[in-house]
Amino acid sequence: MSTTQMTIARGINSGLRAAMEKDPKVLLMGEDIGKLGGVFRVTEGLQKDFGEDRVIDTPLAEAGIVGTAIGMALRGYRPVVEIQFDGFVYPAFDHIISQVAKMRARSLGAVKMPIVIRIPVGGGIGAVEHHSESNEAYFTHTAGLKVVCCANPADAYWMIQQAVETDDPVIFYEPKRRYWDKGEVDTSAAPCGLFESRVVKEGSDLTLLAYGPMVKTCLQAAQVAEEEGKSLEVIDLRTLSPLDLPTLTASVKKTGRVVIVHEAPTFGGLGGEISARLTEDCFYHLEAPVLRVGGYNVPYPPSRLEEDFLPDLDRVLDSVDRSLSY
């Protein structure tokens, strides 16, 4: 076991480096990812070491980036695309939904689309409009795509490599406000598979389900609750599509109560799908309705209001109390 301290951003950077060293067909595409290393410096130093043919500074056109990545994949490459911010993925939406997700089925299995689309996601950084969105539900709703989100440096390091090795297209979300959070990374072995959820804190009274930036919030909530004598289990979903339902249902059957937490607005959000599945699978084990805490159903507000919009410790605990009161 060899562990190193690194941030989430560095974890992804090191993971990408490892993936590129392992497979010469892996290449990176995106805006400003070369000399600058991306606006979050996630690809820092990679162009210098792997050259401009493998770390491609593209023209400023997201449809063009994903559209040409599709062509590269058809030629046998494994492109890793960086979308600069969540709110800028929409120009590429058509290619992701209508081409990347459907190409394999259209060809009756003759071709594959091993493309990773990296998207820094979520708010909390005081940004201007379009830089703080949580749009995962658009992609989890689409068959043909897989969607994952990392929440800590070790997962950042390993999940990006596992995503690159996946023969199916993967939307890879990175919690941008946690980019600089540090943690131990064991670079000798992956902690688990890419499409597995993980219990990050065991508990017996209630299950908190979260992913990406909300995992840390939920861990803090669990700690505060513990001081009040409540034992909360926290699960980091890691995979949003497919869902790792066995792990989720095992926990909910144990605790009988569940609160789902995400930054995205709740209406039509991933929490709704999880809620429906858990209700169906755990109906006789539930002591309370499945509750959700999420962003309000408004466009992402100006940043001076984002603390009121985003779920925080108190809103999570408020829902925990509501669930426990049933």
Summarize as ranges the residues that interact with other proteins (CB under 8 A).
Answer: 27, 53-54, 58-59, 61, 63-64, 67-77, 91, 94-95, 98-99, 102-112, 143-144, 146, 166-168, 242-243, 245
Q: How far apart are CA 151 and CA 159, in angstroms?
A: 10
Are 139 and 145 contacting, i.e. CB atoms less than 8 angstroms apart? yes
CB of 186 to other proteins, least distance (A): 25
Q: How far apart are CA 120 and CA 174, in angstroms?
A: 5
CB of 27 to other proteins, least distance (A): 8
Q: How far apart are CA 37 and CA 58, in angstroms?
A: 13
DSSP state of 95: I
CB of 279 to other proteins, least distance (A): 16
Comparison of 63 and 288: residue with beta carbon closer to other proteins: 63
CB of 67 to other proteins, least distance (A): 3
- The H-or-E segment that residue 94 falls in is helix 93-94
Comparison of 63 and 324: residue with beta carbon closer to other proteins: 63
Comparison of 62 and 236: residue with beta carbon closer to other proteins: 62
DSSP state of 233: E
Strand runs labelled E in 37-115:
55-57, 78-82
Instruction: With CA atoms as reference, report the closest residue to 28 among 45, 5, 7, 11.
Output: 45
Comparison of 41 and 198: residue with beta carbon closer to other proteins: 198
Would you name the residues annotated as active-site residues?
131
Cα 135 to chain center, whole Å? 10
Are 72 and 32 contacting, i.e. CB atoms less than 8 angstroms apart? no
